[in-house]
Structure 1
Amino acid sequence: MPGATLTASERVVPHAGRVLIVDDSAVARAVIGRAIDSSPEYKVAGSVSTAQAALSFLQTEAVDFILLDIEMPGVDGLTALPDIIAAAPRAKVIVVSSGTDDRGSSTVQALAMGAVDRVSKPTLGGLAGGFSRRLLDKLAELGADLAPLSSPVAASPLPRPIAGPTAPDYPAGFDPAAYEIVAIGASTGGIHALSSLLRALPVDMQLPILITQHLPGSFMPYFAAQVAVLAGRPCDVAVDCMRVRPGRVILAPGDAHIRCVRLSDRSASIRLVRDFAASGCMPSVDPMLASVARVFGPGALAVMLSGMGRDGAEGARLVRDAGGCVLAQDRATSVVWGMPGAVDGIAAAFLDPETIGRLIAGCRKK
C-alpha cells in the first residue's frame, strides 16, 4: 500500500526477521527464498508447499512474517488464514499471489480477515528483479519494529465478541449528538481494522461514511462489496457528483481523491480530484478530511486507522480546528502506527477499532 519506504540506513531491525514461505510452487519458493536470503535483515525460517505443513511448522517455530500464496491446491490460503493467524498471532501475514493483480476479491477478503498487506507475484519468469525488491521493501516497511522471538507464541483465544449496544465512555471533546458525517482514512493494516469498526455499527445508523483506503483501483469493486457486507449498508465507489446520503458508505476510487462540496439544498455531494497530494498518495486522506472540515465543521468526525506515513495528518488538524473530532487507532492494535501516530496531539483519543465503532454507533444524525 502507498506510504513511506524506509531506506537501508533508517531500518532498525534488532534481529534477522524470520520468514515462512507458503507456496505450492517449488520454483516460486526457491526464488522467493533467494530474494529473502540476499538481505542480512531477513532469513528463511521455513519453506512449505501446503497450508497444513505451515500449521505443523508453526507448532514448533516462531516467525515474524508469513508469505502466503492464496491459490494452492487442497486447503487454499484464504481458507487456512484464520488458523494460520491463530497459530502465529505475532507474525505478519503478507499475501503473495499471482491473483492479486487481476482477481482482487480473495485478496481483499484476506486483508479483512487479518493479513496485513499484499505483494503481487508475477509470472515465474518475472519473479526476480523488481519483484524481489518490492518484497524486501515491504518487509522493511512492516518490520522496522521487530522484537526478538524466543519461542512460538501460544494461539490467541478467539476474538472477544462485540459488546452490547451500550457505548463506551466518551473521550473529552466527543459529542455523540454533534456529528453529521464520518470520514475514515486507512492504509497498511487498515482493512482488518476497518472490518472490526464496521461490525460494531448498527444497521439503522444513519450517519454517512466516507472512506479513503490506500488500494489500487482494480481492487475497489471487491472492497466495496466487502464493506457493504461488514457494515450492513450500501457501499459505493465514488463517482463525480455522487450525493452523500444517510446510511450509506462512499469509497475513494483508486485513481482519485474525494472531496465534499455543499449543495444549494444544504446536502452534500462528492467531487473527484486528481491533484498532487503532499503525501504522494493516490487516493489521499488529506483532501477528503480537508473538505469534510470545510463543509461540515463541528459536524465532522474523522477516524485515522493503521497505515504507513503521515497521510491524513494535515486534514485531521483542519477537522479539529473546525470544531470537529478526530479519533485514531491505538498503537497496540495498529499494524503500522504511522498514520495514527501522526495525529498525536490532534486526536481526542487513541482506541482500538471496535471501541471506535461503538462510539460511532452511539452518534445520531441531527
Structure 2
Amino acid sequence: MALAAASGTGPTGLRGQRPIRLLIVDDSAVARAVFTRMIAARPEFEIAATVSSADGALAYLSGAWVDIILLDIEMPGMDGLTALPAVLAASRGARVLIVSSSAEEGAVATIRALTLGAADTLAKPGAGSFGGRFAEVLAERLIRIGHARPPARTGHGLTDGVAEVPLVMRPLSSGPVACVAIGASTGGLHALSDLLRALPADFDAPILITQHLPPAFMSFFAAQIEEIAGRPAAVAAEGRRLRRGEILIAPGEGHLGIRLTSGRAAAHIVDGTADSGCMPSVDPMFDSVAAAYGAAAVGVVLSGMGRDGVVGGRVLADAGADLLVQNRDTAVVWGMPGAAAAAGLACAILPPAQIAETLVRRARAATVTA
C-alpha cells in the first residue's frame, strides 16, 4: 500500500469502516522502513506519512489528520516524551502508541508516556530481531487503539464528547482544607506536575491521588510524584494512616478510600467494579472523602478521558465540599474535567497551577480566621 497523500480533510466514516491512518515518527530510517513494511501489507492500515523527528510530526499534523501516531522516545532534538503533549494537541484527537527501546514494562519512560497521554506503549525488539511475533503484537495494538471510540475533534483539545453547554458554577467554600482528593487519567502527569509544584511546603493537608494506570506501574508513578511534589508519596495500602504533608496514591488493583477510626483517617482499599468501569476509579475516592470530611474536603479533577469523577463529585457537592476542575485549554483531554463542569459540579475551572493557588488561599485564610 502506497503512502497516502497529506490532506487536511477530516475522516468521513466511522472508525472500522476504513483503514486506520498512521503517522510513523522515528529518527531511524531502518525502523521507519520496517514499520512501514509490517503495517502497509495489512488492509486494516494506511500509512499517511513517515517523519524523522518530533518537529516533522508537528509540521505534518498542522495540515493533516491521522488516527494513530507511532512515536519513538529517543530522537535527536525534541525527544518523544517532551513532544508528546504538543503532538497530542496538534493531532486533534489521534491516539499515540509509543514504540521505543525505552518503553519496557515498568520503565520510568513508560510511566511518563502513559501519564502524559499515550494510549499504549510497546518496546522495540533488539537489533536484528524485527518481525515475527513483534509484527503481530504491533498490529494487535494498533487495531485495538484504532477501533476505540474516538474523542471529539475540536480546536480546543480533546473533549471526549463533552457537550458545549453553559456551565453553572457552584460558589467556592471557606474554612480549613482537611484533605485534597485528585483524580486524573490521560495527560494526568503533566497536570499533576503543574499543580504539585505550585503547592508550597506549608500547605500540608494530606493528598490522595487516583490516576488511571495498571498495578505494575503504580510504584514507579508514586516515586515520580514524590520527586515532583517534594513531599513523601506512596502507594496506599489497607490501614495506612493519612499524614499531613504526605501523598497517598490509589493502587492499580483497588479503589482508594479512607476510613475514620477514633478520629484518625486511614486508607481503605475498595474492591469491586465502579460505575465508571475504571480501576482504580475516582468516584469511590470522592465518596469516602466526602463521608469523612464533608465541607472540609476538596476534590480536583484533572485531564482524562471519560466521566470518572462525576458520580463521586456529586457526592462531594452534596456534602458541601468544593470540586475544582482543570480548564479546557491546559488539558490534554477535557473529558473528565469537562463532564464534571457540564454537570454543574465545579466551583472553579482553572489551570492546574491556579488550582494549587486556590487551595493555598483557602487554607491560609482558614488559618488566619482560626
Q: TM-score range by the shorter chain?
A: 0.7 to 0.9
Consecutive unaligned residues of structure 1, counting only runs of 5 or more, are 1-7, 149-170
- Rate the CA distance shift 1:76–1:108 in 2: closer, same or farther, 3 A: farther
- Identity %, equivalent residues: 38
Consecutive unaligned residues of structure 2, counting only runs of 5 or more, are 1-11, 156-168
- Rate the CA distance shift 1:137–1:205 in 2: closer, same or farther, 3 A: same
Does residue 55 (structure 1) correspond to residue 55 (structure 2)? The answer is yes
- Which runs of structure 2 are paired with 1:294-333 in the superposition (5 Å)? 294-333=291-330
Number of the residue aligned with 1:336: 333
- Rate the CA distance shift 1:61–1:283 in 2: closer, same or farther, 3 A: closer
Deviation at 1:137, TM superposition (A): 4.2
CA distance in structure 1 between the aligned counterparts of 2:190 and 2:42, rounded to whole angstroms: 26
- Rate the CA distance shift 1:88–1:245 in 2: closer, same or farther, 3 A: closer
- Rate the CA distance shift 1:337–1:17 in 2: closer, same or farther, 3 A: farther
Contact kept, 8 Å, 2:58 with 2:90, in 1: the verdict is no
Does residue 103 (structure 1) correspond to residue 102 (structure 2)? The answer is no
Which residue of the other structure, out of 93, 118, 135, is the alignment partner of 2:142?
A: 135
- Which runs of structure 2 are paired with 1:70-85 in the superposition (5 Å)? 70=73, 72=74, 75=76, 79=79, 81-82=81-82
CA distance in structure 2 between the aligned counterparts of 1:301 and 1:226, rounded to whole angstroms: 23
- Which runs of structure 2 are paired with 1:286-301 in the superposition (5 Å)? 286-301=283-298
Letter in 1 for 2:90: R
Q: Per-residue CA shift, 1:64-118, capped at 9, x if unaligned?
A: 5642222x4x7498x4543676689624654233554523211233456x55443
Number of the residue aligned with 2:247: 249
Letter in 2 for 1:144: P
CA distance in structure 1 between the aligned counterparts of 2:47 and 2:133, rounded to whole angstroms: 22
Letter in 1 for 2:121: V
Contact kept, 8 Å, 1:142 with 1:336, in 2: the verdict is no
Number of the residue aligned with 2:44: 38
Deviation at 1:283, TM superposition (A): 0.8
Number of the residue aligned with 1:358: 357
- Rate the CA distance shift 1:90–1:81 in 2: closer, same or farther, 3 A: same
Contact kept, 8 Å, 1:104 with 1:218, in 2: the verdict is no
Number of the residue aligned with 1:349: 348
- Rate the CA distance shift 1:22–1:320 in 2: closer, same or farther, 3 A: same
Letter in 2 for 1:333: T
CA distance in structure 1 between the aligned counterparts of 2:89 and 2:335, rounded to whole angstroms: 21
SS of structure 1 residue aligned to 2:193 = helix
Number of the residue aligned with 1:273: 270
Aligned length in residues = 325
Number of the residue aligned with 1:19: 23
Deviating more after overlay: 89-98 vs 205-214? 89-98
- Rate the CA distance shift 1:145–1:136 in 2: closer, same or farther, 3 A: farther
Which residue of the other structure, out of 50, 70, 89, is the alignment partner of 1:67?
A: 70
Letter in 2 for 1:195: S
CA distance in structure 1 between the aligned counterparts of 2:57 and 2:171, rounded to whole angstroms: 48
Contact kept, 8 Å, 1:188 with 1:307, in 2: the verdict is yes
SS of structure 2 residue aligned to 1:269 = strand
Letter in 2 for 1:118: D
**CA-atom RMSD in angstroms:** 3.5
CA distance in structure 2 between the aligned counterparts of 1:280 and 1:84, rounded to whole angstroms: 26
CA distance in structure 2 between the aligned counterparts of 1:356 and 1:142, rounded to whole angstroms: 30
CA distance in structure 1 between the aligned counterparts of 2:359 and 2:21, rounded to whole angstroms: 38
SS of structure 2 residue aligned to 1:332 = helix
Letter in 2 for 1:194: L
Number of the residue aligned with 2:257: 259
Number of the residue aligned with 2:3: none
CA distance in structure 1 between the aligned counterparts of 2:38 and 2:294, rounded to whole angstroms: 49
Q: Per-residue CA shift, 1:32-89, capped at 9, x if unaligned?
A: 64389735xx6522243xx4xx43565576355642222x4x7498x45436766896
Contact kept, 8 Å, 1:37 with 1:44, in 2: the verdict is no
SS of structure 2 residue aligned to 1:174 = coil
Which residue of the other structure, out of 114, 118, 121, is the alignment partner of 2:120?
A: 118
CA distance in structure 2 between the aligned counterparts of 1:246 and 1:293, rounded to whole angstroms: 18
Which residue of the other structure, out of 238, 244, 249, is the alignment partner of 1:240?
A: 238
Which residue of the other structure, out of 182, 205, 212, is the alignment partner of 1:184?
A: 182
- TM-score calculated relative to the size of structure 2: 0.75
Number of the residue aligned with 1:158: none
Which residue of the other structure, out of 171, 194, 197, is the alignment partner of 2:195?
A: 197
Q: Per-residue CA shift, 1:134-158, capped at 9, x if unaligned?
A: 334435658533369xxxxxxxxxx
Deviation at 1:204, TM superposition (A): 2.3
Contact kept, 8 Å, 1:94 with 1:115, in 2: the verdict is no
Deviation at 1:299, TM superposition (A): 0.9
